[in-house]
Amino acid sequence: MALVHGETPAIVLRGAYDPVDCEALMKRFRERELLYDPRHNGDGRPRRVDIGTSFGSHRADREKFHAHSTQTHELFSTLFEG
């Protein structure tokens, strides 16, 4: 329930994505401005990055959550191509 209540900031699935493909995926995140490039604009402070729909951010408004989830579904349909 910690995830549902927004108490858990992330879920990490180690080994879920081939390490050989990670560099291209991270580049795609930066090209689509889904992730900042710390080599160029990082100031050393951690930043929150949500790629997709964050239940923690949208849990108070169910309609907004579902609308954002639709956009996330569209994003993820192409995000891992290439």
What number is the average pLDDT over the span 29-42?
79
pTM value?
0.57
pLDDT, position 55: 73
Q: What is the DSSP string of 43-54?
A: -SS-----SS--
CA distance 8 to 71: 23
